A and B are shown apart, each in its own frame.
Chain A
Amino acid sequence: MSNIKNSFANGKAFIGFLTGGDPSLEKSEEFILEMVRGGADLIEIGVPFSDPIAEGPVIQAANIRALAAGATIDRLFQLVRRMRGQTAVPMVFLTYLNPVYRYGYEKFFETCRLVGVDGVIIPDLPYEEQIEVRPTASVNEIDLISLVAPTSENRIKEIVLNASGFLYVVSSLGVTGVRKEITTDLTSLLQAMKAVSDIPTAVGFGISTPAQAAYISRLADGVIIGSAIVKIIEEHGNKAGRYLYEYVKSMKDALLA
């Protein structure tokens, strides 16, 4: 296992997502450092894609902004390389499969290793299709992070047994985006997962408030916050750093309380 285990060593983990290059690569660098200062235990960097089918409107818009600003996989690799001089926080990429496929699996995972990307989440690569990338990821010691959904049911065991890094638990049906309440029976979902393995679990999709984070912290090992962070960036643009710090701190406090 990579560096990612350190993310779960400081109480319940706060995992913060932003779309790489939104609104610019320089700002992403600053925003990541602000989130780390606020207590983020792991940073998820979204590789912008033209057609992010698992995303709601907020992250879709961030993808468009980042692409318009010229973000590419190569530039995101450079971003991570620069940041490795400044922080040891584990960083993972969230990317659709096509950019990785086009880049070439070997070159992609090798570059991840060289620049210091610890793991990769690929939302359109379910368990059955992971076979085509998993060996390349393992050789380079990059965790391929699997997702478990409320609909996974009989698939949970196999997914969990083959998981690496942590498990991304999808809290709700549908696409990413802030939700008022989480209606999935997370308790039994997480119990089913814990029965198979003690690999860390982090819950994402729809979570935005400290109260929701506190609730999740009783069930899982961490929370993943995406749309709520991207919304702050959308609202405050270049000046979002301070707000991100405050937001992450409030969430991490709720997780530790």
Chain B
Amino acid sequence: MKKGKFGQYGGQYIPETLMNELINLEKAYCYYKDDADFTAVLRQLLENYAGRPSRLYYAAKMTADLGGAKIYLKREDLNHTGSHKINNVLGQVLLAKKMGKTRIIAETGAGQHGVAAATAAALLGLECEIFMGLEDTRRQALNVFRMELLGAKVNKVTSGTMTLKDAVNETMREWVGRAHDTHYVLGSVMGPHPFPTIVRDFQSVIGQEARAQIMQMEGRLPAAIIACVGGGSNAMGIFYNFIEDAAVRLIGCEAAGMGIETGQHAATITKGEVGVFHGMKSYFCQDEYGQIAPVYSISAGLDYPGIGPEHAYLHHTGRAEYVPVTDEQAVSAFEYLAETEGIICAIESAHAVSYAREIAPSMGKEETIIICLSGRGDKDVAAIARYRGVEISE
């Protein structure tokens, strides 16, 4: 496979001004990923600071209720900062420091990646600026203040649809102007090479652990792994170490918003077409002229018109399946997990929970499903209340 490509997907479709920066990033990453000191420091941070390994929890009540496959939850929600995003930011911010950068910038949708990036910057002593769509700063006001508490400057993006896509646009624009001292901590397995590989590698700790944990607990591989996909970092992280195991179904849940037939969704693989945007060739929601389409989801973290190129490739080869899950289904799963297991998960992760509810009953009792519970749901409580017509003030 050509460097930086996953089949025909991926690549480096980025302004010339950034090309040497990306080449340097790739060189630095290739060097440090195998550097004993670097990996030791990262491992220590993941264990002592982020709280890894995350638990693989057997959801006995949910299993009994659904009456089919055994359900396990990979508890990324219990990580420091409340999601899987910390795995990637610790790696990238350490790398940025090694490259001599003194400042990081990052986009954020729901605020999970922004909070994680601000946290890593605070811990490791780098200046930090976050770009977040104005619309998302309203949906996730608490996370804006959280990032500011962590010492980050939050720039509210007012261009375009004022959501995650536009936050990425603005962060790229900022980086084109200031790369000499600044690293762009991209939050998902997307963007130009080498980001999809770097982020996947830093997130693959999820799948490494899950594999060892399920082997220890069940003595066999799971029948299916289910994760939500926006850009697709938690999904890629948990899928990666199971790709060679053809019998393990890999299922990505896309945000179908109000329904894929309504046009109000972010179901990139289900409804999108191949294109080139944000530095990569992949699937994008777009119109007949290649204009990127406005997308919608109740989940700010899945509200993105593209998907990482390795997912596009896994879809293309048929190795992974991508299914749409609506707002209503996700909210219902959010409530279900809270009532059944006493876990309030992120609305993003609830998309994966929803699909597990759908397929588990018809699976055998000896089979297992691992759901990647990518984040915790404190940030979503107010939005869910609004969705259900309850007015609460934080």
Which one of B51-59, B83-91, B271-279, B386-394 is at the interface? B271-279
Interface string of A165-205 (1 = CB under 8 A from B): 00000100111000000000000000000000000000000
In the assembled complex, B288 has its CB within 8 A of some CB on chain A: yes
In the assembled complex, B342 has its CB within 8 A of some CB on chain A: no
Structural contact, A98 and B290, CB atoms closer than 8 A = yes
Measured between C-beta atoms, what is the minimum distance from A50 to chain B in Å?
4
Which residues 29-84 of A sit at the B interface, judged by CB distance below 8 A?
49-51, 53-54, 56-57, 60, 67, 72-73
Structural contact, A175 and B176, CB atoms closer than 8 A = yes
Residues of A within 8 A of B166 (CB): 51
* Given contacts A51-B160, A60-B159, A98-B277, A149 and B16 within 8 Å (CB-CB): yes
Give the contacting residue for B290; candidates A53, A101, A159; CB below 8 A: A101
In the assembled complex, B286 has its CB within 8 A of some CB on chain A: yes
| Bound form: Cα–Cα A104–B274 in Å | 12
In the assembled complex, B172 has its CB within 8 A of some CB on chain A: yes
* Given contacts A102-B275, A151-B179, A152-B19, A124 and B13 within 8 Å (CB-CB): yes
Q: Is the interface of B mostly helix, strand, loop or mixed?
A: mixed
Structural contact, B177 and A73, CB atoms closer than 8 A = no
Residues of B within 8 A of A98 (CB): 275-277, 284, 286, 290, 292
Task: Name A102's closest neighbour in chain B (CB-CB).
Answer: B290
| Bound form: Cα–Cα A152–B16 in Å | 7
| Bound form: Cα–Cα A60–B173 in Å | 12
Measured between C-beta atoms, what is the minimum distance from A231 to chain B in Å?
17
Structural contact, B292 and A50, CB atoms closer than 8 A = yes
| Bound form: Cα–Cα A126–B179 in Å | 17
Task: Name A175's closest neighbour in chain B (CB-CB).
Answer: B173
In the assembled complex, B20 has its CB within 8 A of some CB on chain A: yes
Structural contact, A99 and B289, CB atoms closer than 8 A = yes
In the assembled complex, B329 has its CB within 8 A of some CB on chain A: no
Measured between C-beta atoms, what is the minimum distance from B237 to chain A in Å?
26
| Bound form: Cα–Cα A101–B8 in Å | 13
Task: Name B3's closest neighbour in chain A (CB-CB).
Answer: A128
Measured between C-beta atoms, what is the minimum distance from B158 to chain A in Å?
10
Residues of A within 8 A of B21 (CB): 151
Interface string of A240-257 (1 = CB under 8 A from B): 000000000000000000
Give the contacting residue for A173; candidates B14, B176, B286, B288; CB below 8 A: B176
In the assembled complex, A235 has its CB within 8 A of some CB on chain B: no
Measured between C-beta atoms, what is the minimum distance from B124 to chain A in Å?
25
Interface string of B163-179 (1 = CB under 8 A from A): 00110010011001111
Structural contact, B290 and A51, CB atoms closer than 8 A = no
Measured between C-beta atoms, what is the minimum distance from A153 to chain B in Å?
6
In the assembled complex, B291 has its CB within 8 A of some CB on chain A: yes
In the assembled complex, B377 has its CB within 8 A of some CB on chain A: no
B residues near A, CB below 8 A? 11-21, 159-160, 165-166, 169, 172-173, 176-179, 273-279, 284, 286, 288-292
The 5 closest A-B pairs by CB, nearest first: A174-B177, A102-B290, A149-B17, A99-B290, A98-B290
